[in-house]
Structures are given as structure tokens and as C-alpha cells.
Chain A
Amino acid sequence: EIVLTQSPATLSLSPGERATLSCRASQSVSSSLAWYQQKPGQAPRLLIYDASNRATGIPARFSGSGSGTDFTLTISSLEPEDFAVYYCQQRSNWPPDIFTFGPGTKVTIK
């Protein structure tokens, strides 16, 4: 089973700053990695799929990169609405055929 690790667990930044979030897989997932944003009391929202493709309606300040085992979500300039928890997620290509989420990175206001 592939395990996803996210770092840091918490990121304290000010609006306007650049945020860099990391997701590492225990073995290669090729480019099959997605990123989600979740705010308190809300469902997750898909930001990035296939490592670098922005989902419909996602602002250009969100970008994803990486392949294999190391992936990055970058928020170029934090807006007030970007303070939230971010999860990465992958789907295994071989048995057990499952989907795995990382533990999340919480981006807080400094």
C-alpha cells in the first residue's frame, strides 16, 4: 500500500506570501496525484489533478508540480480565502486498488 506523507503539518504565513506544500509517496505514483483544499465545515474541493492540471474554476495562483514520489503544491500569493487544510491523494495502479489521502497540511494566518 502506498503511503502519502505531507509536510509541513502546519504552515504559518501572511496574506501575499508564497506557500509551498510538499507531498511524498512511499513509492512511485507516476503523475497520478491530486490536491484538495478543505475549509472548516465544508467538503473538500479539487484543486489539481494528474500532478499539475488545475481543476475547473481554480485560480492560476494554485499550481502543482512533481512526478514519481515527490510533489509540490504552490500558492503563489496567498489570499485570505486560501487559509485552509490541503490534502494530497493518489490511486494505486495495482492491487490493492485503493485511493489514499495524505494527512494534510494546515495553512494558517501568521
Chain B
Amino acid sequence: EVQLVESGGGLVQPEGSLRLSCAASGFTFSNYDMNWVRQAPGKGLEWISYIASSSITIYYADSVKGRFTISRDNAKNSLYLQMNSLRAEDTAVYYCARLIAGRAFDIWGQGTMVTVSS
């Protein structure tokens, strides 16, 4: 079964750090570009970061640029998101998502909740 499973969410204080992980299974992870998408409580979807299959290309949304770092380990079939200098507005469910045809997210994890609060 094709699957993505996120972990690492939790409660963190403002200006704190957190590292999210996404474990992939059921497909050849190294063949696919991957992304992180988040959703604040009661709000819509916001794409935040992209990484190419080989890690050669990386993009970030302006809202997280300079604070978040995306990475992957193809040998471990894993995607990561290092989040630093967290703010209250970063509170959201964070999803990892596989990209197909360079344009659409066809497989999503179940999400991991990040709460930034003192």
C-alpha cells in the first residue's frame, strides 16, 4: 500500500524548534518530488515547501523562508521539515504530499499537528 506517515508534531513555545518526519512506503520514494502542505485550524490549505527527487531543487513559501528547512533521505525513504523560530501563526496540521506530473499532490499523509503556544 502506498503510504505516507508524518510524525514529530507537538506543542512548542514561540521561537522554539521542531523537526517533522514523513516516512514513505509502497512506492519508490527516490523517484518522486515531495512537499509539505499545512492547514491552520479551520482554515484552507497552504503549500510551504518543495524538494525535488534528488534534492537538487528546493522551494519555500515566503511565509516560512529562512525559518524552515526541507530535506530528504532517499536511503531511508524519509522526508523532513526542520522548523525554527516558530510563531503562533505556524500552528497547523502539517501534511507531507507526493507530487505527480510536476503539478498535483496525489498521495497525502494523515498529518501531524504543530501547536505554537506559551
Residues of A within 8 A of B (CB): 32, 34, 36, 38, 43-46, 49-50, 55-56, 87, 89-91, 96-104
Contacts and interface: CB of A to CB of B under 8 A. Distances in A.
Interface string B78-118: 00000000000000000100001111111011110000000
Interface in B35-51: 35, 37, 44-47, 50
A105 to B, nearest CB: 11
23 contacts: A34-B104, A36-B105, A43-B111, A44-B37, A44-B95, A44-B105, A46-B105, A46-B106, A55-B104, A55-B106, A56-B106, A91-B102, A96-B59, A96-B62, A97-B50, A98-B59, A98-B61, A99-B35, A99-B47, A100-B47, A101-B45, A101-B46, A103-B44
Contacts of A90: 103
A32 B106 CA distance: 14
Which residue among B35, B61, B104, B106 has the maximum number of chain A CB atoms within 10 Å of its CB?
B104
Interface residues of B, number: 22
Interface of B: 35, 37, 44-47, 50, 59, 61-62, 95, 100-106, 108-111
Given A96-B59, A99-B35, A104-B45, 11 more contacts: A43-B109, A44-B37, A44-B45, A49-B103, A55-B104, A56-B106, A89-B45, A91-B103, A97-B50, A98-B59, A99-B50
Contact of B44 (A45, A87, A91, A98): A87
A97 B50 CA distance: 10
Contacts, number: 60
Nearest to B106: A46
A32 B103 contact: yes
Nearest to B61: A98
Contact of B110 (A43, A46, A49, A99): A43
A106 to B, nearest CB: 11
